Amino acid sequence: MPDPNRTFHGGVFHDSIPGGRSGAKIQLRRNEIVAEATCEGEPFFSLPFDDCDLDLGGASGRMVFCRDPEKTLTIFCEERGFMDELRDGSYGVLAPQLDQLTRLRKGETHRFHFWVIASTLLLTAICVGGYFGLMAGAKAAVKAVPISVDERIGGMAMQSLMLEERLDDNHPATVLVRQIVDKLKPHSAIPDMNFRVAVIKSDQVNAFAVPGGQMCVYTGLIKKAKSPEQIAGVIAHEMSHATLRHGLRAAGQSLGIIAAIQVMIGDVGGLVALGSQVAQQSILTSYSRGAETEADLEGARMLHDAKIDPKAMADFFELLKSEMGDIPGIAVWISSHPQHADRVNNIMKFQFGLPETDYQKLELDLKAAQDALQ
Amino acid sequence: MQVDIRDRPSFANMLVQMQPGDRIIAEAGAMASRSASISMSTRWSGGVFRAILKRIFGSESLFVNEFTAESPGHLVLTQPYPGDIVCLELTGNTMFLQPGAFIACEPGVSLGLGWAGIRSFIAREGAFRLKVTGHGRVWFGAYGAIFTKDVVGEYVVDSGHLVAYEPTVGIRVALAGGIFSSFFSGEGIVTRVHGQGKVYLQSRSFGGLVAWTNAHLY
């Protein structure tokens, strides 16, 4: 039994209305749906249940359309409860159509959910696959680029760095570091690389390499070291970044990701600008965890080949961690190298796999260098 | 209150001739000039919370200006980008506007914000839409010319061209063609409008302008 007092708000399409449509107040009567348009003149429309074709749609997907067989009159409503009122008020006349519409809507909703989940999974798979593909691609592509490119990028990077006071070439600390570089150079993966090292006057315990073989070692690191072998460990690690060409690889990966995003979602000019910044940043500051591990192992290999005990590298990690790990802003070198314990383990494990060698102590005067820095 | 839309379609603006007691509500910043006899008061667009929602999701301003004529005068309203403006007369019915399209309305019209759905979001038409309902005239603008289409059944619109639509039409997201043609035709994802009702479309899209500009920057 329809409730004659219940009014729903909806609308009506009919050619007699100016503009062809209007909002409407809708009620269910004994045998029909009636709509009183809210436009000027408030025309009145009725649609018998027996002649009513139902449809479901609209922007929300929940709007019920009631049409006459000629489709000249359409009464529509998306208020909650309208479908139930139609079912009850039409004495079952409209029930089969309503059941079918409900089934169709549920099916469509399920299909939509399926596609959303499937698309999300596919997109995730593409992103993950693309990421690893790019990483591998960049690694391969970097090999084809001549070393001179690394040197040019490194030169620009050094110019852009606001470095503190640099010690002169004859300073005992500079001489010590240069001797270590000379000792390690023949054992590097690219012995022809033009390795140069500058010692920077700063209490920060830090060292870094830019592409092409230029390195900076801070006096804070030299003062902190307990043996020349420990400094050799840090330098071997930094030389490895240069010979493994991590700077160029990181830049290639950053640019590759931006290129991939461009292909996938169209023009992203802003991202390109951002990407070039990211690329520059990645050359200058930090490398990925994978790159750090690679540099550790390559550094350990270099030390081993130079007959320097690779354990010194791990010892230096331990020393910094135990003495200065909690002091922010000083132990920069260790703080920019995450997963400290894992790295010590990795180096020790790697050393186990190396053939036995008689490691020799470096005959270098660390004490003199440290005294000269006081 | 008589409103003429001038300089159509490229640089359309509204010349509102007002008589004493006439009122019009306009988007903040829409006024270009007005007679000194017309007073202006500023208020939150539907309360603080709703105004913030409309700002974030509907690209509308936090505030609306209400202009009231104390003696006869005129007011010129415009929109920030080049394009046409159209007037829509609501008679108790509802219309959805794309974010940023609203310019002005008469006091009998209420302006709300509605969830447009994931489909609309994927079609780059925005996850939210402005809902205008009530009795009175609404003016909204677009980038480029505006044309209408009375949809019966299904109609395909490229993403970024839909400006306004009635709640009786639904939106589906679809590829423009097959996988190959969708990616290489420059059309990509399109909006399939279906059902019965009127849609308002703009002849230019901001996405197209941005892509064109970017392509010439490097």
Q: Is the per-residue pLDDT at A69 higher than 80?
A: yes
Coil, strand or helix at A330: coil
- In three-state form (DSSP H/G/I as H, E/B as E, the rest C), the secondary structure along B10-67 is CECEEEEEECCCCEEEEECCCEEEECCCEEEEEEECCCHHHHHHHHHHCCCCCEEEEE
Is the distance from CB of B27 to CB of B104 less than 8 angstroms? Answer: yes
Instruction: Give residue A351's pLDDT.
Output: 78
Q: What is the pLDDT of residue A286?
A: 61
Question: How far off is chain A from B41, nearest CA to CA, in Å?
Answer: 30
Q: What is the pLDDT of residue B119?
A: 66
Element containing residue B73 per DSSP (H, E): strand B73-77
Residue numbers in A near B96 (CB within 8 A): 59
Nearest-CA distance from B102 to chain A in Å?
19
More confidently predicted of A76 and B111? A76
CB contacts of A266 in chain B (<8 Å) are 188, 211
Indicate if the pLDDT at residue A5 is higher than 80.
Answer: no
- Note whether B166 contacts A: Cβ–Cβ < 8 A: yes
Residue A48 structure tokens = 């018998």
% of chain B at pLDDT higher than 90? 43
Shortest Cα distance, chain A CAs vs residue B32, angstroms: 31
Tell me which chain A residues have a C-beta less than 8 angstroms from the C-beta of B195: 57-58, 65
Q: Is the pLDDT of residue A268 over 50?
A: no
A310 contacts A343 by C-beta, under 8 angstroms = no
SS3 call for A322 = helix
Return mean pLDDT, chain A: 82
Closest Cα in chain B to A19: B89
Distance set, CA B159 to CA A15, A141, A349 (Å): 31, 37, 57
Q: Does B116 touch chain A (CB under 8 A)?
A: yes
Burial of A122 (0-12, 13-18, 19+ CB in 10 A): exposed
CB contact under 8 A, A39 and B91: yes
When pLDDT is averaged across residues A198-211 and rounded to a whole number, the result is 86
CA proximity to A220, closest of A203, A207, A232 = A203
Q: H helices of chain B, where?
A: 48-57, 118-122, 179-184, 206-215
Residue A283 pLDDT greater than 50, yes or no? no
Residue B210 in contact with partner chain A when CB distance is under 8 A: yes
Q: Which of residues 216-275 of A touch B (CB under 8 A)?
A: 266-269, 272
Q: Provide the pLDDT confidence category of residue B43 given band limits of 50, 70 and 90.
A: confident
pLDDT tens-place string over residues A85-136: 888 888 888 889 999 988 988 888 888 889 889 988 998 998 889 878 877 7
Total residues found in chain B within this entry: 218
Residues 33-52 of B with CB under 8 A from A: none
Rounded to an integer, the average pLDDT of B7-23 is 93
Sheet holding A63-67, edge to edge: A44-48, A32-37, A21-28, A8-13, A74-77, A63-67, A53-57
How far does Cα A101 stand from its chain's mean position?
44
Tell me which residue in B167, B198, B214 faces A63 most closely, judged by beta carbons. B167
Residue-level pLDDT at A263: 55
- C-alpha–C-alpha distance, residues A230 and A18, integer Å: 89
Give the pLDDT of residue B203: 93
pLDDT at A327: 47
Across the interface, do B195 and A58 touch by the CB < 8 Å criterion? yes
In chain A, the percentage of residues whose pLDDT exceeds 90 is 25
Whether residues A22 and B92 touch (CB distance < 8 A) is answered with yes
> Residue A12: its pLDDT value, please?
93
Tell me, what's the pLDDT at A267? 47
Check pLDDT > 60 for residue A349.
Answer: yes
ipTM entry: 0.72
Look at residues B127, B134, B128, B88 and name the one whose alpha carbon lies nearest to residue B111: B134
pLDDT of residue A252: 72
Tell me if residue A17 falls in helix, strand or coil: coil
To test the contact with chain B by mutation, choose from A101, A267, A274 the residue with the greatest count of B C-beta atoms within 10 A, namely A267
If you average pLDDT over residues B188-199, what whole number do you get?
85
pLDDT of residue A323: 62
B216 touches chain A (CB under 8 A): no
Quickly state the pLDDT bin for A292 (edges 50, 70, 90).
confident
Residue A19 has, within 13 A of its CA and on its CB side, a CA count of 20
Average pLDDT over residues B143-169: 91
Model confidence pLDDT, tens digit, residues A178-188: 999 999 999 99
The answer on pLDDT for B179 being more than 60 is no
Question: In the prediction, which pLDDT does B13 show?
Answer: 95
pTM assigned to the model: 0.58
How many Å apart are CA B142 and CA B199, to the nearest integer? 13
Q: For residues A170 and A329, which has the higher predicted lDDT (pLDDT)? A: A170
| CA-wise closest residue to A171 among A198, A191, A152 | A198
Q: What is the mean pLDDT of chain B?
A: 84
Give A263-270 contacts, CB < 8 A, sequence gap 24+: A266/B188, A266/B211, A267/B210, A267/B211, A267/B214, A267/B215, A268/B214, A269/B210, A269/B213, A269/B214, A269/B217, A269/B218
Whether B128 has a pLDDT exceeding 90, the answer reads no
CA distance B35 to chain A (A): 32
Asked if residue A280 lies in contact with residue A211, where contact means CB atoms within 8 angstroms, the answer is no
Tell me whether B115 touches chain A (CB under 8 Å).
no
Interval A46-57: pLDDT, tens: 999 999 999 988
What angle, rounded to 10 degrees, do the helices at A246-265 and A228-243 form?
A: 40
B214: buried, middle or exposed (CB in 10 Å: 19+, 13-18, 0-12)? middle
Query: Which site among B94, B168, B169, B171 would you substitute to test the A interface, given the most A Cβ atoms closer than 10 Å to its Cβ?
Result: B168
- What's the one-letter identity of residue A297? L
Distance CA B143, CA B161 (A): 9
Name the minimum distance, in Å, from the CA of A174 to any CA of chain B.
44
Alpha-helical regions (H) of chain A: 82-89, 95-144, 147-160, 172-184, 219-224, 228-243, 246-265, 269-284, 289-305, 311-324, 332-335, 340-352, 366-373
Q: Are B142 and B84 in contact (CB under 8 A)?
A: yes
**Closest A-chain CA to B92:** A23
